[in-house]
């Protein structure tokens, strides 16, 4: 099958990780995959067999959206593309017009519950042959914006090459944060909750618009010798395997890939009580209210004292990458009338 995957950028984030893994696995199965994005730090992680085309599909300008859709429609006709798959809202609009121009179906993956629920924004989702939701929390959160063309396919991950070891609990606690440095990720709350009179360090992997503010909070609290900002890193698995505890203070997520990876690797976690996390855990027990700094301070101090994680998330809550791609292949086959039993 010949497929185009469209996402805004390949910089840093769960959508980027999802599309890279999906495209690489589809290509490994013999499909022809073209990824269209504005590029970014993670682009090098695409398989050499995946074609990447740089295009400003991240811009919200209507004229740019229309121009990109025309280019992609022409590309789809020329390459005999059978399906267009969009990730995020602007790519969804582009896919809608490109698919119409090329005479092919399109699907959209909803990766998060969007704050803006104006009905007109989601016309491309309602018109899509299928909307793939990465969790039940996303489908439930967007039920008033999408039609009945939704299907939940949980994000899957490949098998990690490293595992966490209990020896990481010896000595000073090494906390870890992995994610985009933006308000919804909640790192500012975690930094304000860190105890001053206990022994610990923290590694921060990621970059984003809040980095300067977060570094200021770190300095104001006297933590510059304890907290290290590494920027973007492709060594997150290694950090998880060597750290004591992952902090996951997010306000909102779709299906949290960082947390899912932590579950696979086995590192203890302290996490927010938000729908996709409680969905993974099967309960809200021992999860913390997002933004509740006193509750986070108490949980962090308790972990430093006891070295015990109260949150238990079963490994079974994280599908394999193969299972996820099997489900996407099935959807691709259904909407094109060509079931993906091998290469089409």
pLDDT in tens, 74-125: 999 999 999 999 999 999 999 999 999 999 999 999 999 887 777 788 999 9
- Predicted local confidence at residue 75, as pLDDT: 98
The mean pLDDT value for 63-71 works out to 97
- DSSP states along 211-270: HHHHHHHHHHTT-TTTEEEEES-S-HHHHHHH-SEEEE--S--SS-HHHHHHHHHT--EE
Residue 171 is classified by DSSP as: S
Q: Check: CB of residue 226 under 8 Å from CB of residue 203.
A: no
Instruction: Please determine, for residue 343, whether its predicted confidence score (pLDDT) is greater than 70.
Output: no
pLDDT digits over 149-187, tens only? Answer: 899 999 999 999 999 999 999 999 999 999 999 999 999
Q: How confident is the model at residue 12 (pLDDT cuts 50, 70, 90)?
A: confident
Considering the chain, what is the average pLDDT of its residues? 94
Predicted confidence (pLDDT) per residue in 262-273, tens digit: 999 999 999 999
The pLDDT, as a whole number, for residue 144 is 83
121: DSSP letter: G
pLDDT surpassing 70 at residue 34: yes
Task: Give this prediction's pTM.
Answer: 0.88
Q: How far apart are CA 70 and CA 101, in angstroms?
A: 7
At residue 342 the predicted structure's pLDDT band, cuts being 50, 70 and 90, is: very low
Between residues 340 and 292, the one the model is more confident about = 292
CA distances (Å), origin 81, targets 72, 74, 132, 257? 10, 10, 20, 29
Which pLDDT tens digit goes with each residue over 48-60? 999 999 999 999 9
Which pLDDT score, from 0 to 100, does residue 338 have?
55
Q: Residue 275: count other Cβ atoms within 10 Å of its Cβ.
A: 18
Contact between 218 and 148 under an 8 Å Cβ cutoff? The reply is no
pLDDT digits (tens, 9 = 90+) for 212-243: 999 999 999 999 999 999 998 989 999 999 99
CA 151 to CA 104: how far, in whole Å?
20
Question: What's the CA gap between 227 and 250, in Å, rounded?
Answer: 19
For residue 50, give every residue at least 6 positions away whose Cβ sits within 8 Å of its Cβ, in sequence order, or none. Answer: 23, 24, 27, 33, 34, 35
- Per-residue pLDDT band for 330 (boundaries 50, 70, 90) equals very high
Full set of structural domains in the chain with CATH: 2-156+319-336 (3.40.50.2000), 166-317 (3.40.50.2000)
339: confidence class by pLDDT, cuts 50, 70, 90: very low
Angle formed at CA 234 by CA 317 and CA 68, multiple of 5 degrees: 90
């Amino acid at each position: 099958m010949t497929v185009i995957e469209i996402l805004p950028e390949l910089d840093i984030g769960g959508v980027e990780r999802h599309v890279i893994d999906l495209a690489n696995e589809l290509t490994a199965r013999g499909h022809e995959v073209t990824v269209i994005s504005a590029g970014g730090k993670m682009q090098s992680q695409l398989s050499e067999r995946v074609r990447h085309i740089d295009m400003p599909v991240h811009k919200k300008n209507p004229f740019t959206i229309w121009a990109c859709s025309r280019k992609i429609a022409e590309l789809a006709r020329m390459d005999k593309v059978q399906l267009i798959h969009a990730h995020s809202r602007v790519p969804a609009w582009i896919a809608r017009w490109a698919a119409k121009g090329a005479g092919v179906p399109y699907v959209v993956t909803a990766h998060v519950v969007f704050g803006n629920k104006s009905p007109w924004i989601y016309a491309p989702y309602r018109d899509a042959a299928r909307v793939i939701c990465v969790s039940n929390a996303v489908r439930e959160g967007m039920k008033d914006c999408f039609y009945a063309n939704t299907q939940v396919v949980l994000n899957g991950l490949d098998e990690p090459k490293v595992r966490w070891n209990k020896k990481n609990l010896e000595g000073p606690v090494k906390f870890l944060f992995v994610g985009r440095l933006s308000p919804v990720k909640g790192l500012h709350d975690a930094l304000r909750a860190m105890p001053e009179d206990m022994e610990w360090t923290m590694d921060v992997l990621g970059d984003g618009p809040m980095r300067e503010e977060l570094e200021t909070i770190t300095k104001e609290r006297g933590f510059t010798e304890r907290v290290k900002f590494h920027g973007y890193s492709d060594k997150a698995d290694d950090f998880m395997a060597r750290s004591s505890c992952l902090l996951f203070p997010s306000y909102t997520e779709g299906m949290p890939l960082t947390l899912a990876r932590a579950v696979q690797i086995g590192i203890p976690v302290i996490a927010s009580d938000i729908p996709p996390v409680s969905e993974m855990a099967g309960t809200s027990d021992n999860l913390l209210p997002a933004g509740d700094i006193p509750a986070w301070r108490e949980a962090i101090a308790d972990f430093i004292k006891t070295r015990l994680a109260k949150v238990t998330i079963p490994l079974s809550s994280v599908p394999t990458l193969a299972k996820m791609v099997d489900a996407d292949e099935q959807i691709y086959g259904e909407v094109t009338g060509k079931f993906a039993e091998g290469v089409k």
